[in-house]
Amino acid sequence: MRNGLRQSTGTRQSQTQRVDPKVVLGSHMLQLSGIELEQLIQSELMENPALERLDDFEDSISIEEILQSVAPQELKPGSTDREVQRSLPNDSPDVDWLDLASSNDSLWDHLLGQMRVQVEEHQQDLVTYFVGSVNDRGYLTCTVEDAALDCQTSLEEAEAVLEKLRTCEPAGVGALDLRDCLTLQLRSADTDAERLARIILKKNWEELVARDKRAICRIYSIDEDTAEDAFEVILGLNPFPGESFSRNSSTGISKHKTIPAQPDIIITLEEAGYLIEVPGASPIHLRVNPEYEKRQSKLKKVRRADPAEVRHLNEFVDRAHRFIDALTQRRQQLARIGKYLVENQGGFVRTGEYRFLVPLTRSQVAKDLNVHESTISRATAGKFVQIVNGDTVNFEVFFKPALRIQKMIEEILESENPSSPLSDERIAQMLEDKGVSVARRTVNKYRDRTKLLSSRLRRSG
């Protein structure tokens, strides 16, 4: 060919991966809440004529069929569980991790009460200015320069007052943006995971937003579990520290009790052992239309069957089978996770006492159950578990060790003498007596997160 160009007449082969529709449907169904799943079922029943729901009066379903479909695991209490149970007090407090310490004060009243005892008299105007510039989510909406100019003071003095505001609780208040807010909450990083989390927030924001754990591992020469621990710390921080106050201020709505969430797994303890139930939609209430299956089977024996009818039958019958199979797998996967919690968090599952929680990550659960980590993430994200004592807790409680310490601190402060409140150092000693070793700074940080005042501000009388 002219100009050295060559023309090729060969064919090119390429390989493409085809995603199994069954896998896609199963993954999608696994991450749905109970309400969303019911909506999906209703939609599928309307679109697929080969799928139908059984009426309650149409078929009598035995308990054996239910157990076989749901696949709950009945576990005999282990020796470890019996030892824990014998050591428990009979009057265990009814603890709900969603019930954080509430306050009738607004966020701004709460901040003013803390600031006024930390600053000089001539700095009160700056205090009022900065606190008034905090929005209902806890973020600062003014600049230090504006505050100094409007309050007719020096820039250095305005910066000093702002720094005191940024040490107030709830931790993270007075931040300029999300990154700053999260970093403030790790001001007193004690553990390796917290220190790494603080470094990631400061230097690797892009990788954090992209959830690129592998990049973090390469940058700091750490294993994936260490990176996962740091990510868990960051995910446990509060992006809107002032929001809990804004929901309660001047609305006339009392917040004595959180509206209970609908559990996706129910764990009960019976004489025979533990029973794990997955409430809501069940595959035993669905079936493939028998007439569709008969017609499909008949046409397979007909040589000159109508191609359009064959396609219609195959498409919708196969689709119905995939839907029922995916629903079955969802329930089985949730039941397996429920069994895993019983085996590995038995003390907490039975009593609701946070001192029995042991460190756990989604990656560890995935490894032990021999599934991908994304499967555990989909199965647990936004879902709730009802444990033996009747409490309904978010799945996050099992993957956030900080909650254990926070709740133990709350329990200690509930029984303190108001006229002689406990210092953070004394609280740390009491936690040490209970087998939890934390520094005084850690107590201060967790107390801030749960909106509990310092001993000086808690003193009454």
Q: What is the pLDDT of residue 63?
A: 41
With respect to residue 374, please indicate whether it lies within any of the assigned structural domains: yes
Domain that holds residue 433: 404-458
With respect to residue 124, please indicate whether it lies within any of the assigned structural domains: yes
Q: Does one domain contain both 319 and 370? A: yes
Instruction: Find the mean pLDDT for residues 67-91.
Output: 44
Q: What is the pLDDT of residue 386?
A: 92
Looking at residue 124, which CATH number applies to its domain? 1.10.10
Q: What number of other Cβ atoms are within 10 A of residue 433's Cβ?
A: 7
Instruction: Find the mean pLDDT for residues 122-145.
Output: 87
Q: Mean pLDDT score of the chain, rounded to an integer?
A: 77
Which residues of 176-293 form beta strands (DSSP E)? 265-270, 273-277, 286-288
Distance from C-alpha of 425 to C-alpha of 443, rounded to nearest angstrom = 8
Whether the pLDDT of residue 37 is over 70: the answer is yes
The amino acid sitting at 218 is: R
Q: What is the pLDDT of residue 192?
A: 84
Q: What number of other Cβ atoms are within 10 A of residue 215's Cβ?
A: 15
Q: Does one domain contain both 45 and 71? A: yes
With respect to residue 424, please indicate whether it lies within any of the assigned structural domains: yes
Q: What is the pLDDT of residue 412?
A: 79
DSSP state at residue 427: H
Q: What is the pLDDT of residue 161?
A: 92
Distance from C-alpha of 94 to C-alpha of 256, rounded to nearest angstrom = 14
Q: What is the dihedral of CA 103, 106, 107, 110, to 10 degrees?
A: -70
Which residues is 53 bridged to in the sheet? 286
- Helix pair angle (213-220, 224-235), 10° resolution: 120
Q: What is the pLDDT of residue 96?
A: 39
Total domains, the chain: 4
Q: Does one domain contain both 394 and 276? A: yes
Q: Does one domain contain both 355 and 424? A: no
Closest CA to 153 of 121, 117, 130, 126: 126
Q: What is the pLDDT of residue 62?
A: 44
At 206-242, the pLDDT tens digits run 888 777 888 899 998 988 888 888 888 888 888 888 8
Which residues of 27-81 form beta strands (DSSP E)? 51-53
Distance from C-alpha of 114 to C-alpha of 127, rounded to nearest angstrom = 10
Our CA angle for 288, 289, 293, nearest 5°, is 85
Residue 25's contacts (CB-CB under 8 Å, 6 or more residues apart) are 322, 323, 326
Q: Does one domain contain both 342 and 308? A: yes
376, 398, 420: which is the final residue of a domain? 398
With respect to residue 92, please indicate whether it lies within any of the assigned structural domains: no
In this predicted model, which residue has the larger pLDDT, 44 or 14?
44
Q: What is the pLDDT of residue 253?
A: 33
Q: What's the Cα-to-Cα distance from 117 to each of 3, 100, 121, 173, 419, rounded to whole Å?
A: 86, 25, 10, 17, 19
Instruction: Find the mean pLDDT for residues 273-287.
Output: 89
Instruction: Find the mean pLDDT for residues 387-416.
Output: 79
CA 414 to chain centroid: 26
Whether the pLDDT of residue 448 is over 70: the answer is no
Q: Does one domain contain both 193 and 294? A: no
Q: Does one domain contain both 298 and 358? A: yes
Distance from C-alpha of 244 to C-alpha of 141, rounded to nearest angstrom = 19
Find the range with the poorest average confidence among 222-236, 258-272, 348-362: 258-272
With respect to residue 172, please indicate whether it lies within any of the assigned structural domains: no
Q: Does one domain contain both 269 and 368? A: yes
373, 398, 423: which is the final residue of a domain? 398
In this predicted model, which residue has the larger pLDDT, 77 or 264?
264
Distance from C-alpha of 71 to C-alpha of 190, rounded to nearest angstrom = 43
Whether the pLDDT of residue 333 is over 90: the answer is yes
With respect to residue 5, please indicate whether it lies within any of the assigned structural domains: no
With respect to residue 1, please indicate whether it lies within any of the assigned structural domains: no
Residue 204's contacts (CB-CB under 8 Å, 6 or more residues apart) are 215, 216, 219
SS3 65: helix
Q: Does one domain contain both 156 and 224? A: no
Q: What number of other Cβ atoms are within 10 A of residue 202's Cβ?
A: 11
Instruction: Find the mean pLDDT for residues 368-391.
Output: 89
Kind plus residue range of the DSSP H or E element containing 384 = strand 384-386
Q: Does one domain contain both 284 and 350? A: yes
Distance from C-alpha of 45 to C-alpha of 347, rounded to nearest angstrom = 42
CB 340, CB 365: distance < 8 Å: yes
Q: What is the pLDDT of residue 18?
A: 52
Q: What is the pLDDT of residue 460?
A: 53
Q: Does one domain contain both 273 and 318? A: yes
Looking at residue 419, which CATH number applies to its domain? 1.10.10.60
Instruction: Find the mean pLDDT for residues 55-68.
Output: 44
The amino acid sitting at 340 is: Y
398, 428, 449: which is the final residue of a domain? 398
Distance from C-alpha of 22 to C-alpha of 327, rounded to nearest angstrom = 11
Q: Does one domain contain both 336 and 434? A: no
Q: Which two tokens stand for residue 317?
A: 């019958």
- Pairing of the two strands 273-277 and 265-270: antiparallel
Q: Among all chains, which residue has been given the structure tokens 């009818």?
A: 309
With respect to residue 32, please indicate whether it lies within any of the assigned structural domains: yes
Per-residue pLDDT band for 305 (boundaries 50, 70, 90) equals: confident
Q: What is the pLDDT of residue 322?
A: 93
Whether the pLDDT of residue 175 is over 80: the answer is yes
Instruction: Find the mean pLDDT for residues 250-273.
Output: 65
Closest CA to 32 of 398, 397, 380, 394: 380
Closest CA to 447 of 167, 179, 220, 176: 167
DSSP state at residue 265: E
